Homo-oligomer: A and B are copies of this chain.
Amino acid sequence: MKRVSLDMIAKEVNLSKTTVSMVLNGKGDLHKINPDTQALILSVAKRLKFRPNMIARNLSTGSSKTLALIVPRIIDTYYGLIAESIEQLSLKLGYQVLLGTTHEDPVKEKELLLTFEAQQVDGILIASTQHNLEDIKTISDAGLPVVLFDRHYPEADLPYVVVDNYLGAQKLVKHLIESGRKNIGYVGLNLDLTAIKDRQRGFENAIEGRAKDSNNLKIVDHQHAKSDCRKAVEELILNQGVDGIVFETHYLALYGIAKIREMEVDYPGAVSIASFGDHEVFSIFRPEVTALVLPVEQIAQNSIDMLMRQIENKPGDDPHLNKIVEPSMKVRNT
């Protein structure tokens, strides 16, 4: 029942555990261990099914070969997709992934950060609530590599990978305008995030008179997103008389579409929509939903790259290689 340790192998072959350790780490030749000895150790290790105790190795090397991934929620397919990409990429690089979800709660996020730090992760990838700059700064300053993705702290000097949300909003509005819409509405969230603010700014800036008035921009409470979004859609259509709506996230679009259908307005004839972020069902819905595709693979890849660069190259190394990825329109029928 007891695990096989280096010592046991050493005893078995009558050599020191130093030798065994070196050989099993592939440094046998480097340390000029006799090939025969190496073969012997290797075979015994295999026979005894030796698996190094990573905890011990980690303590000794100071590296845990583990990354922490912190996201708002994992059932959000956007973060789910990023999580899956990151997990795959990490594994290829020999790193495990510890998962944490915040549900937009800064307190939970802080706890996660502290736990992961204590857990000696080698790096942290975080889509932050943007309410924990202090702690993230402290952790980063202490030398633990951090990469912010999807959401960043613009005022801080921390590496990040984000989407160009301002541009994204413009693309969405442009699409609706080009398809002939004259009075465009917007449903967004009351989250205090740069990404969100950028989307709203982008919308306001691109709208160029194609909105009745400022009431065309509806901000709903993220805690009651579903019911509030439905209300917002109703108001936009009934009171504001919009003929097009931009939804700030895929799930707002989902809620909105449900409401629009119930209202039995001519959709997408009288009211056309476009969503920030794609969703697997957007091409299954009839009509298919037009969306702005956020490049999840790119985000994952860039984040991992950025983190690895920090991990492998502790000293400064120009941390200002921030990445702003560009989203692209997937025009469908709405």
Which of A8-16, A33-41, A236-244, A276-284 lies at the interface? Answer: A276-284
User: Is there an interface contact between A64 and B75, defined as CB atoms closer than 8 Å?
Assistant: no
Instruction: Please give, as numbers and ranges, the residues of chain B lying within 8 Å of A96 by CB-CB distance.
Output: 98, 115-116, 119
Whether, in the assembled complex, A222 has its beta carbon less than 8 Å from a beta carbon of chain B, the answer is no
* CB interface residues, A 220-274, toward B, < 8 Å: 251, 254-255, 257-258, 261
Instruction: Please give, as numbers and ranges, the residues of chain B lying within 8 Å of A117 by CB-CB distance.
Output: 51
Instruction: Please give, as numbers and ranges, the residues of chain B lying within 8 Å of A142 by CB-CB distance.
Output: 1, 3
Provide the bound-state CA to CA distance between A64 and B53, in Å: 11
User: Is there an interface contact between B286 and A120, defined as CB atoms closer than 8 Å?
Assistant: no
Whether, in the assembled complex, A118 has its beta carbon less than 8 Å from a beta carbon of chain B, the answer is yes
User: Is there an interface contact between B73 and A64, defined as CB atoms closer than 8 Å?
Assistant: no
Instruction: Please give, as numbers and ranges, the residues of chain B lying within 8 Å of A84 by CB-CB distance.
Output: 73-75, 101
Whether, in the assembled complex, A83 has its beta carbon less than 8 Å from a beta carbon of chain B, the answer is yes
Provide the bound-state CA to CA distance between A150 and B238, in Å: 46
* CB interface residues, A 54-103, toward B, < 8 Å: 54-56, 58-59, 64, 66, 69, 73-75, 77, 80-81, 83-84, 87-88, 91, 96-101
Instruction: Count this chain's copies in the assembly.
Output: 2
Whether, in the assembled complex, A114 has its beta carbon less than 8 Å from a beta carbon of chain B, the answer is yes
User: Is there an interface contact between B53 and A120, defined as CB atoms closer than 8 Å?
Assistant: yes
Instruction: Please give, as numbers and ranges, the residues of chain B lying within 8 Å of A55 by CB-CB distance.
Output: 55, 58-59, 64, 119-120
User: Is there an interface contact between B101 and A87, defined as CB atoms closer than 8 Å?
Assistant: yes
User: Is there an interface contact between A75 and B73, defined as CB atoms closer than 8 Å?
Assistant: no
Q: How far does the Cβ of A126 sit from chain B's closest Cβ, in whole Å?
A: 15
Whether, in the assembled complex, A319 has its beta carbon less than 8 Å from a beta carbon of chain B, the answer is no
Q: How far does the Cβ of A66 sit from chain B's closest Cβ, in whole Å?
A: 8
Whether, in the assembled complex, A143 has its beta carbon less than 8 Å from a beta carbon of chain B, the answer is yes
Whether, in the assembled complex, A52 has its beta carbon less than 8 Å from a beta carbon of chain B, the answer is yes
Select which of B59, B98, B284 is within 8 A of A56 by beta carbon: B59
Q: How far does the Cβ of A107 sit from chain B's closest Cβ, in whole Å?
A: 12
Query: Which single residue of chain B is at the shortest CB-CB distance from A76?
Result: B80
* CB interface residues, A 12-41, toward B, < 8 Å: none
Provide the bound-state CA to CA distance between A304 and B286, in Å: 40
User: Is there an interface contact between B74 and A114, defined as CB atoms closer than 8 Å?
Assistant: no
Q: How far does the Cβ of A327 sit from chain B's closest Cβ, in whole Å?
A: 19
Query: Which single residue of chain B is at the shortest CB-CB distance from A81?
Result: B75
Q: Which of A97, A99, A100, A115 has the most CB of B within 10 A?
A: A99
Query: Which single residue of chain B is at the shortest CB-CB distance from A83?
Result: B74
Q: How far does the Cβ of A216 sit from chain B's closest Cβ, in whole Å?
A: 24
Provide the bound-state CA to CA distance between A281 and B302, in Å: 31
Q: How far does the Cβ of A7 sit from chain B's closest Cβ, in whole Å?
A: 15
15 A–B contact pairs at CB < 8 A?
A3-B142, A51-B118, A52-B118, A53-B59, A53-B118, A54-B120, A55-B55, A74-B84, A83-B99, A84-B101, A96-B115, A251-B280, A258-B284, A281-B281, A285-B285
> Which 7 residue pairs of A and B lie closest in terms of their CB atoms, listed nearest first?
A75-B80, A258-B284, A99-B99, A51-B118, A55-B120, A55-B59, A281-B281
Given A51-B114, A74-B83, A74-B87, list of 6 further CB < 8 A pairs?
Answer: A55-B119, A66-B119, A75-B80, A97-B99, A98-B99, A99-B99
